[in-house]
Amino acid sequence: MQLLAAGASPFVRKVRVLLHETGQTGDVALLDVATTPMATDPAVAAANPIGKIPALIRPDGPTLYDSRVICRYLDARVGAGLYPEARIWEVLTLEATADGIMEAAVLMVYEGRARPEEMRYAPWVEAQWAKVTRALDAVGARRMGHLAGKPDMSHIAMGCALGYLDFRHADRAWRAGRDALAAWYADFADRPSMVATVPTG
């Protein structure tokens, strides 16, 4: 299988961390691409009509896209148990929260990089950051018990979301006033799967 990927993408990182955690790195070759909303890589457009990465090209079936679909597929492929049935709705909601943090944080980056300077709108950027801070506070208030438990896909997604905030928005100091989440992340970021997939680019 081939994964259309980029070192900076937190969505791609979710898949890569899962591959490490479940012993599947040897089954998926990474194909690095450079794609943005204004310049979609042709290989990405061919794999995913939405023009986003990650996309997983499979020899024995249709290409899969969207990190949540790919992660669920790769988990099921080896029966890894990263989506435990007993707490599935909590896992999926926390994964969606982490993905929402990434989406808002990525849109902030695109506003600065993909738009001409005179068309950038600072209040819109701040509104995206407000989504991030609301989500971080909600996780800190309601999900720390879950994060303290056995790692599942929602832990991986939260780890990738927080890693992306450090990578692209370090100046926003997301840890301030969020000691418990910061302590959880310091521990999670030490996992070999996280160390092996630190963002680049």
Helices (H), the chain: 10-21, 42-47, 67-78, 88-113, 122-142, 144-147, 153-168, 179-188, 192-195
Q: Which residues, 98 to 137, sit near ligand 99T by CB under 6 A?
A: 99, 106, 109
Query: In angstroms, what is the minimal distance from the CB of 98 to ligand 99T?
Result: 10
The residue (of 21 and 99) whose beta carbon lies closer to ligand 99T is: 99
Q: Does 16 bind ligand 99T (CB under 6 A)?
A: no
Candidates 32, 3, 9, 4; CA nearest to 197 is 9
Residues 18-57 that bind ligand 99T (CB under 6 A): 35-37, 40, 51-54
Q: How far apart are CA 109 and CA 8, in angstroms?
A: 11
Q: Tell me if 168 contacts ligand 99T by CB under 6 A.
A: yes
Residue 49 or 145: which CB sits closer to ligand 99T? 49
**For residue 186, with 0-12 CB atoms within 10 Å meaning exposed, 13-18 middle and 19 or more buried, which class applies?**
exposed
As a whole number of angstroms, the distance between CA 77 and CA 90 comes to: 22
Q: Segment contacting ligand 99T (CB under 6 A): 63-71, 78-86, 139-147, 170-178?
A: 63-71
Site residues, ligand 99T (CB under 6 A): 8-9, 11, 35-37, 40, 51-54, 66-68, 99, 106, 109, 168
